[in-house]
Amino acid sequence: MNSIMQWLKSGFAAQQQGDLATAENFYKRVLKKDSGNYHGLNLMGLVAVNTGRSELALHYLSKALKQRDDDFQTHANIALAYKDLGEIDKAKRHFDRSLRLNSENPTALNNFANLLSETGEPGKAIPLFDRALKLAPTYAEAWCNLASSLVKTQQFDDAKIAAKRALTINNKLAPAHCHLGEVYKHLSDYPAARESLITAVSLDETYIEARVNLVNLLREMERVDEARQQLHRALALAPSDPSVLTSSGVLAEQLGDIDAAVSDFQRAIELHPNYVMAHYQLAQIKSRKSTQIELDAMLNLWKNQKILETERVFLAFGLFKALEQFERFDEAFDYLAAGNDINARHNRYDDLQAQRYLGAILESARQMSLSNNDESSGEKLIFVLGMPRSGTTLTEQILTSHSGVDGIGEVSYAYDLAREAERLLNANYPSTIETLTQSQLKHLADFYLDRVDSYDGKTWIVDKTPLNFQYIALLARIFPRARFVRCVREPVDNCFSIFKLPFGDSQSYAHSLASLGQYYRRYDRLMSGLSEQLPGRIFDSQYESLVDDVESGTKALCEFLGIDFEPSMLEFYQSKRLVRTPSASQVRQPIYRTSVAAWKRYERQLQPLVSALGE
């Protein structure tokens, strides 16, 4: 018995030092001499968990629990094994049992919270992280994981605090740098995000999640060559990783190389048949039709009970795309509704809140002095905006095909501008923006222009960010020469096009047909009021008219902007610019009309939308 105790002590010491192979050898000696030794079974199971042998871990830990079902640590250990095997419900049950036995185990609290966060319940995870950190305030990994959950719930300011707290404790913690990078990305501080993510991959060369996040960020920043370099390194490190292959495919698609994109997505599916994002990305490419094999694979995947809700959303939208191509329209719509229902359950639309916010914007515009037509400043800015899916990408591609027009894509600079105005006024946007002084307006103009790398004061710059309609009055006052192109599309087509995409939580109206109709009406009232306040500065570009006669529509745009029409604008689809929207494959084709009145085949299912839109 003395030798068993010594082996256990020696194994545990080796395990704490990270020498798992030595620890395992000691535990094997214990179990060879006493196959039912509880401590040997438990510790051997934990080594198996930490070395990725979850089935073996279950073998040992199940035997241990038969002896002592009231040991909180064994329940916590076996929960990790079940988590790694994808047995999420069993993992949750054992974590819950562990915490009932000992509610003050910070490691178990952290691990349970991680499980919840990773399986689509970050809101439930946050209180558990808080409990863990009250017990262990210097638990850097828990601060780091809390930051991740806060990012997922869009609490970015708190997430930044949590990530920085983790780094104060351990500045070498690569995941904390990664999560901080994601925070900065969501806050649109791209340079800081890039720096954090580069730090993360420099600390851990094999940290694939951080490297993929860096590739995606660089793609957002349109630093294509740098994105390719990072992607090349990621492929060298993990050539079969589905997230790497899918990221490669997205970049290829946005650059117009559809064949390469298809190849990457298909390779990811071949190696990892259950990787939902690759199925979704392959299905949504507009220039090809899904095969029967691809459709069947997604239908079978839908039956898999282990698919997380967050993944199931994208699978539903992928199935809609594929089934529609096979003209199985009723079935397609059922999946589309199912995907939106999942999103709606997690983020309900508040119409009263939308009414108050959009109404306050219009009231502020009416209070603001917008009669200043002094165009002596040299800013040549074009804001292409409107509801999402109203034709903004098409309009931007046409404009940036002009030799005197450059584009900065879909950016958050106007959003940043509103936040800076809030700081100056110490009030929430849009409250009191009409009180901005001339010096504050000059500061805000510089604040925006400093972010535009390509700005030279000579070339017209296109900011193609649909939701900038919220900031038209503020932008108009700051930039007297700015012009606004509002893209307008037939309302049912526009709203249904939104409903067909997996929009995030920031657009809660997108997940319900009735909500879409309600929000569109409020948006339309806002735009009508703004047009009255800014006569001659907002041009309505009608999508259907542009599609029907692209040359006439383009010439009208040029006349509004005061630029000469160029024939190259009619060949916008030959542009080599990176396109970072769901229209990436669509806008690289000549004008087509299949998107006009596309809702008619779903007229029966869309009655809640039609009713909500009204006249």
Give residue 3's identity as a one-letter amino acid code: S
Residues 394 and 281 in one domain: no
pLDDT above 50 for 373:
no
Of 228, 253, 288, which closes a domain?
A: 288
Q: Left, alpha or beta for 492 (phi > 0: left; psi -120 to 50: alpha)?
A: alpha
In a domain, 463, yes or no: yes
Look at the block and give the residue holding tokens 């929960």.
79
pLDDT above 70 for 214:
yes
197 — pLDDT class (breaks 50, 70, 90): very high
Look at the block and give the residue holding tokens 């009208």.
556
Environment class of residue 606 by beta-carbon count within 10 Å: exposed (0-12), middle (13-18) or buried (19+)? buried
List b or e across 282-313, with b for residues whose CB sees 16 or more CB atoms inside 10 angstroms.
Answer: bbbbbeeebeeebbebbeebbeeeebeebbbb
3-state secondary structure 397-458: HHHHCCCCEEEEECCCHHHHHHHHHHHHHCCCCCCCHHHCCHHHHHHHHHHHHCCCCCCCCC
Tokens at residue 28, please? 């094997």
pLDDT, average across residues 523-536: 95
Residues 403 and 502 in one domain: yes
pLDDT above 50 for 376:
no
The answer to whether 132 touches 142, Cβ cutoff 8 Å, is yes
Q: What is the pLDDT of residues 86-116, one digit of tens each?
A: 899 999 999 999 999 999 999 999 999 999 9
- Whole-angstrom distance, CA of residue 574 vs CA of residue 60: 62
In a domain, 532, yes or no: yes
Across all residues in the chain, what is the average pLDDT?
91
Q: What is the pLDDT of residues 168-189, one digit of tens each?
A: 999 999 999 999 999 999 887 8
In a domain, 486, yes or no: yes
In a domain, 94, yes or no: no
- Whole-angstrom distance, CA of residue 336 vs CA of residue 587: 24
Q: Which residues does 236 contact at the CB level (< 8 Å), separation at least 6?
A: none
Residues 539 and 405 in one domain: yes
DSSP secondary structure letter of residue 484: E
Amino acid 34: pLDDT: 87
Amino acid 371: pLDDT: 54
220 — pLDDT class (breaks 50, 70, 90): confident
Alpha-carbon 471 to chain mean position = 23
Residues 585 and 456 in one domain: yes
Q: What is the pLDDT of residues 27-50, one digit of tens each?
A: 899 888 888 888 889 899 999 989
Amino acid 602: pLDDT: 94
Of 261, 288, 315, which closes a domain?
A: 288
pLDDT, average across residues 371-376: 49
Of the listed ranges 159-168, 367-376, 439-448, the least confidently predicted one is: 367-376
- Whole-angstrom distance, CA of residue 340 vs CA of residue 317: 9
pLDDT, average across residues 252-257: 92
pLDDT above 70 for 4:
yes
Higher pLDDT, 375 or 263: 263
Give residue 537's identity as a one-letter amino acid code: R
The answer to whether 74 touches 62, Cβ cutoff 8 Å, is no
Residues 536 and 404 in one domain: yes
Sign (positive/negative) of CA torsion 176, 181, 182, 188? Answer: positive
The whole domain housing 382 covers 377-412+439-613
Amino acid 495: pLDDT: 96
Q: What is the pLDDT of residues 377-433, one digit of tens each?
A: 557 899 999 999 999 999 999 999 999 999 988 888 999 899 999 999 999 999 989
Q: What is the pLDDT of residues 113-139, one digit of tens each?
A: 999 999 889 999 999 999 999 999 999
H/E stretch holding 296: helix 292-302
- Whole-angstrom distance, CA of residue 450 vs CA of residue 425: 21
- Whole-angstrom distance, CA of residue 284 vs CA of residue 70: 50
In a domain, 580, yes or no: yes
588 — pLDDT class (breaks 50, 70, 90): very low
Residue 465 belongs to domain with CATH number: 3.40.50.300
Structural domain count of the chain: 2
Looking at the chain, the whole-number percentage of residues with pLDDT higher than 70 is 94
Residue 136's alpha-carbon distances to 80, 169, 416, 454, in angstroms, are 21, 12, 36, 48
Q: What is the pLDDT of residues 321-368, one digit of tens each?
A: 999 999 999 999 999 999 999 999 888 899 999 999 999 999 999 988
In a domain, 98, yes or no: no
Higher pLDDT, 589 or 390: 390
Q: What does residue 514 show for φ and ψ, rounded to 5 degrees? A: -65, -40
Rounded to two decimals, the pTM is 0.85
Residues 462 and 559 in one domain: yes
3-state secondary structure of 228: helix
- Whole-angstrom distance, CA of residue 396 vs CA of residue 295: 33
Residue 179's alpha-carbon distances to 148, 149, 173, 193, in angstroms, are 6, 10, 10, 9
In a domain, 400, yes or no: yes
Residue 209's CB is within 10 A of a number of other CB atoms, namely 16
Residues 259 and 384 in one domain: no
Of the listed ranges 66-75, 185-194, 579-588, the least confidently predicted one is: 579-588
Give residue 255's identity as a one-letter amino acid code: L
Amino acid 576: pLDDT: 58
> DSSP readout, 103-130?
TT-HHHHHHHHHHHHHTT-HHHHHHHHH
H/E stretch holding 376: none
Residue 269 belongs to domain with CATH number: 1.25.40.10
The answer to whether 263 touches 278, Cβ cutoff 8 Å, is no
In a domain, 62, yes or no: no
The answer to whether 94 touches 112, Cβ cutoff 8 Å, is no
Of 258, 288, 318, which closes a domain?
A: 288
pLDDT above 50 for 319:
yes
3-state secondary structure of 53: coil
pLDDT above 80 for 300:
yes
- Whole-angstrom distance, CA of residue 388 vs CA of residue 411: 14
